[in-house]
Chain A
């Protein structure tokens, strides 16, 4: 049906014989910037009150044919204050535009359209390409961090190609997804953001409140990130080249771990204390235990890095043999981190050219990126191209095509799972400092060389039990393979018809495809593939098709402007999966399945997800003082049962430009004063299964040759959209031409939470998805920017933004739900810790003490007024703070002196707690072979010791090292997130080689971090826990940006 309609439109098109407007005369001129005197390409020049207009060319020149009745020309340009100039019979008009310091005139991209910032009733932040282009970022999500209050971003991964997670205004969902909706060029995006070259991005707009997101009502509950790619500007055309080269290192240091000289005595003590504790047990037993520990500790640890006999490494006094020195090559060979890490290279070259005529514009780019991680064998190679062409066929018909493709090859560092043996972060942190990377002669400690005289990995199964014996992260990362080859292909086209003067009808169609091909290979010598070797091949294909039709009406009635949009949208997503695996490799260096013998997996499936929506919006303003926006959207989702799949979403927003009122204008120092507010209801269906409403049995449970199925999930026919009711109020101000900012308050209530309600496990069903529970997020967001110095040559701008967040459940399906280290309860947040309460260390015997739950139990000890226990099963739980910070934000500085510009941004966080599981794993009371934090040196050693580190005792690891409030650590931090220093080569020099602009720059990311514990990754996730992830990288690049 839709196809037929499209054909009809095309056939009918020639019938619309719009008459060309009478020509009268031509006005020409050049537009320059008052800021630097440079010409401005791409300035829009329009005859006031008409649609007649043009755009300045690359040299800032314009030429426009205007009707005789024309009186005024309007010049507008992003970042500059609009100017209206009377023609007064002139044929040459040169204009100097002033920078728009307040951003009131800035055009921001909104849902299904654009708006001037001053006229916008919603809450949005836009990041323009100038903020992106000089930063060595691989993924545009990086640019979002610190850009706006109200947004939280995870630290991201050092793995090249990985993106950062984003939360807009807290966490509005529980079982459903909290991630914002990504929209690229007007179409909801299901591909990988990292496939988009940041250099192709014109702007990123983050929409935070209901009024600004309501037209994406169905998926906008957690905010929207709109990405707009570049398009050409009419003119002679321009070629830009941006090339950079950088070095990449680890941004956050490793935890401080003890060396071999401390290692042996600590482990000796763990062994001895498991038998007898000095000062507590019978001295004779302690003497015997000392002897046993001295005799046997080598047997537990199994490597002796010292030049003393195996049974004399630690004396009966528990001290390292004073004669002990590293033997042979030991000192060098135990450096796992050194063997794992590297200084990565980053090379990036982006080339783009753009231009246009009055009727056509084009933008074409190609980009190449190669980035190595700081862990060996991890890298990304990306080749991306884009072409965006728009064609004004007649003055009422416009069409365009935006096509992009990217090819991405990514080698993973095997950090995907925190607990897998071969995770190199876990491994190097968790391996005791006495174990060599390389095979050493056990007697001499010298390298055992192979036939070619090279060192060999120590891949034997003989480390202590806590040291991942039988595994070797360096050997495995070298010999294994985990490679993604991803191709993305996207195309978007539209047809825009203007009719009846004020109407416009647009049909948009888009196709996004992503082809993913992964090779996962394990070598036959060591690890999961040994012996024999194994290979997995996984292919998947994502295909999304989006159609929308928009009818817009825009009209000015005197001082009243009305702007209406009506639309229909459909979205269809298909996911195909195919995977196979085989074991027993035949020939070396070939990971293809045909090179293996036994099939262990062969599987495929397809998922489908569809949505459809109808929507409408009315924008109204009176005299550019009073603004009103109202919108409505009705959506259906295939995830819900037919009777419940449609949801209704709406919003209302108002704004009042007080600065346009005479009583404010009279004050003189007020540049901008705007009050705005909005309320609306948004939906969410993300993060629940594609078939959430259906009761299913899983296929794939065949028993030998017989078919088999097993219960998968219960029906949830009553499931409906999760809804998010959002209130927003803000004051935007600009004073003294210098200070401008926004103070904003929001309150979001999430109702009908899509909630995987935990069922009693004894029902045989783990959970059931229901719409139950309510929570709210509320916060204050402040952003202030000050032009501290504003002279002709020197400009210095300082910006600060800060946010607060309160998150609280007001209704839950159960009185309480324990979820890992958190407990959900009415009156508490999603991320309030619920942990066993640590009390401290008993000075008498060094035992770890927790507050007791059952005060009658045998394990109970009384200390003063406290009833305590040594038994972790009897340790009492309590609410213990939250992972949500008190305040977070960023501080930016931009200093410009002539052609030199320095800008840098700090991100910070105050308050909140981290549950540092990584640190906990380095503080065991006695796991033979594992790595230890230097804090273990503070352990209890004899009665009377006052410390918060319990005694070493290998028999008590589960009690002494349990998860408890002991591991909560302040989450505050300050991070120098980015710094850019650029220099504009003087124009007269650049122009000699034909360049219109040339810049050299140095740029760095993650340059400096302070927090409560060296090695701790505060921003790893929003819930405050730490695990063995690929920590963020530090990038320093040198780049050149030229335009011809």
Chain B
């Protein structure tokens, strides 16, 4: 009997030891993520993946995370900082001001490089995945793929402008551009020539325009055909294909309306959806905000961040002095820095430092809420593109006519320009610099036009910008170095001139 019992215990013990947990015991699933399977199974999930990109344009990037790297909004003011029209009053966050982002190991160099390619990878999932097997209407599919293509083109366009030598209008443009990524891969790709990159950008935009034409959008955080055409116009301008630029700019702007000067004097804040001026904007909700990283946390006048209190951004005084006194934009920068004419309800904390020529163009929700819609594209730019493109073709009358609606909307005293030739071009460029200050254009304008950086004669302080007052046109520094991390992992990658 005892032996039987012993045997029983033994069997019991053995069965315990060799009894496995249930089959599912080792299967676990995350709750803060979803499987990639099925992202393009329906237009519903695909649209969520597209909205992920829209959102990420104003999210602090996970890679090389930093408060000054909040998606496309940070990129916009950083591009302006590399030009001459954005003036700092204090030596903080001066990386771009001093062109240090150019270094191969500088985090402000490799973080945006990765950011754009990560977005491209997200767009490629949709471009390559949404199709016949995707549940949903054809219109929905077209809207998703059209937007993804627009993004792919736009992001490559940003990359090629910063990391490749300039596109030379009329030239062969065989200099190395950037890899153009068409599909998800973990293999490094070689750099395409600049000409090839632009060919692909145009192809993607052409396809996108065809898909988006006539399609609605939910709100201005989404891209529509007008945005695609606006980007197409920008690209043509960079390439010096002025007739094309003018044509797309005109097409893009038809459904929008320039702000009147009363509205304009209030500065740019929220309300992009209702304003006819905006063509494309990130619109940030209260619970989707990055308090210290939002666009408005760096570039507004009234939000109380250390960055703004100690270093409110100024306009280059040389440029400011060229704004007509009757122009509403003269009010958006204060040569005294006192800001006694702030829009109603807007206040600046008493501890904020005061400097001349600081802007009140951008206004955050409050001193405690840094939100401000991010103006990715505004209709006034379309007028400016058309005007510049016409002028550069020698069409002075058309150029003056194109400039007029925008110029008079800003300055009721403005009369049709009688300038011709270079004078007219200069007038348009002044208008452009004033109008688009802070919106991510000036450095690229200098580069596309092969102009020098010239920060002399105004309010730039060499002690702040690291004595970077001049950079000649064509200097190697106009092109950022390929990130060292990319060089290390991609055998096909070739470095730019040190």
Contact = CB atoms under 8 A, between A and B. Distances in A.
B28 A765 contact: no
B110 interface: yes
B17 A568 contact: yes
A873 B90 contact: no
B54 A954 contact: no
Interface string B451-493: 0000000000011101110000000000001011110111001
A714 B498 CA distance: 34
B19 A470 contact: no
B306 A470 contact: yes
Contacts of B254: none
B488 A758 contact: yes
Contacts of B48: 706-709
A696 B33 contact: yes
Contact of B306 (A469, A690, A764): A469
B358 interface: no
Contacts of A970: none
B243 to A, nearest CB: 33
Given A507-B16, A532-B368, A762 B178 contact: yes
Interface stretch (A52-60, A636-644, A1018-1026): A636-644
Contacts of A766: 63, 114, 118
B469 to A, nearest CB: 10
Given A275-B462, A762-B189, A874 B498 contact: yes
A609 B28 contact: yes
B36 interface: yes
Contact of B51 (A606, A708, A758): A708
Contact of B488 (A600, A816, A854): A816
Interface string A624-636: 0000000000001
A602 B286 CA distance: 12
A622 interface: no
A818 B483 CA distance: 12
A507 to B, nearest CB: 7
A15 B53 CA distance: 69
Contacts of B185: 763
A703 B51 contact: yes
Contacts of B117: 761-764
A873 B39 CA distance: 42
Contacts of A690: 28, 30
A612 B20 contact: yes
A711 B122 contact: yes
Interface stretch (A229-237, A365-373, A457-465): A457-465
A12 B8 contact: yes
A51 interface: no
A466 B33 contact: no
Interface in A517-549: 528, 530-532, 534, 549
B21 interface: yes
Interface string A64-90: 000000000000000000000000000
A666 interface: no
A5 B12 CA distance: 8
Contacts of B18: 568, 614
Interface in B164-195: 178-179, 181, 184-189
A601 B489 contact: no
B292 A528 contact: yes
A53 B462 CA distance: 87
Contact of A702 (B9, B13, B51, B309): B51
A469 B186 contact: no
B140 to A, nearest CB: 13
Contacts of A566: 14, 17
A528 B26 CA distance: 42
Contacts, number: 315
A934 interface: no
B14 A551 contact: yes
Contact of A698 (B33, B218, B489): B33
B17 A704 contact: no
Interface stretch (A199-207, A497-505, A738-746): A497-505
B438 to A, nearest CB: 21
A785 interface: no
A503 B30 contact: no
Interface string B279-290: 000010111110
Interface string B133-158: 00000000000000000000000000
B22 to A, nearest CB: 8
Of residues B33, B104, B349, which shows the largest number of chain A Cβ atoms within 10 Å of its Cβ?
A: B33
A600 B289 contact: yes
A765 B186 CA distance: 7
Interface in B87-119: 90-92, 98, 100, 102-104, 110, 113-114, 117-119
B121 interface: yes
Given A497-B9, A612-B25, A760-B489, A469 B90 contact: yes
A860 B306 CA distance: 39
A421 B306 contact: yes
B353 interface: yes
Contacts of B36: 695-697, 711, 715
Of residues B102, B188, B351, which shows the largest number of chain A Cβ atoms within 10 Å of its Cβ?
A: B351
Nearest to A598: B286
A612 B19 CA distance: 11
Contact of B188 (A505, A567, A614, A763): A763
B286 A599 contact: yes
B466 A701 contact: no
A88 B325 CA distance: 119
B186 A714 contact: yes
A708 B54 contact: yes
B100 A958 contact: yes
Interface string A941-959: 0000000000000111110
A174 to B, nearest CB: 15
A896 to B, nearest CB: 48
Of residues A469, A636, A706, A758, which shows the largest number of chain B Cβ atoms within 10 Å of its Cβ?
A: A706
Nearest to A711: B122
B317 interface: no
Contact of B55 (A16, A568, A584, A702): A702
B221 interface: yes
Interface in A977-1024: none
Contacts of B330: none
Nearest to A465: B91
A681 B55 CA distance: 47
Contacts of A505: 9, 12-13, 16
A470 B349 CA distance: 12
B287 A701 contact: no
Contacts of A853: 498
A499 B6 contact: yes
B485 A758 contact: yes
Nearest to B221: A703
A711 B125 contact: yes
Interface in A807-842: 814, 816-818
B498 A768 contact: no
A427 to B, nearest CB: 13
Nearest to A706: B51
A471 interface: yes
A728 B114 CA distance: 45
Given A465-B92, A612-B21, A763-B185, A818 B485 contact: yes
Nearest to B466: A955
A638 B27 contact: yes
A923 B48 CA distance: 49
Contacts of A636: 26
17 contacts: A5-B12, A8-B12, A466-B91, A503-B13, A530-B304, A551-B14, A600-B291, A694-B30, A708-B51, A758-B488, A761-B113, A763-B117, A765-B121, A768-B186, A873-B102, A954-B463, A955-B468
**Nearest 8 pairs of A and B residues by beta carbon:** A764-B121, A465-B91, A760-B188, A955-B467, A532-B368, A710-B52, A708-B51, A470-B306
Given A605-B32, A606-B31, 12 more contacts: A566-B17, A695-B37, A701-B59, A702-B51, A703-B54, A707-B48, A709-B52, A761-B483, A954-B463, A955-B468, A958-B100, A958-B466
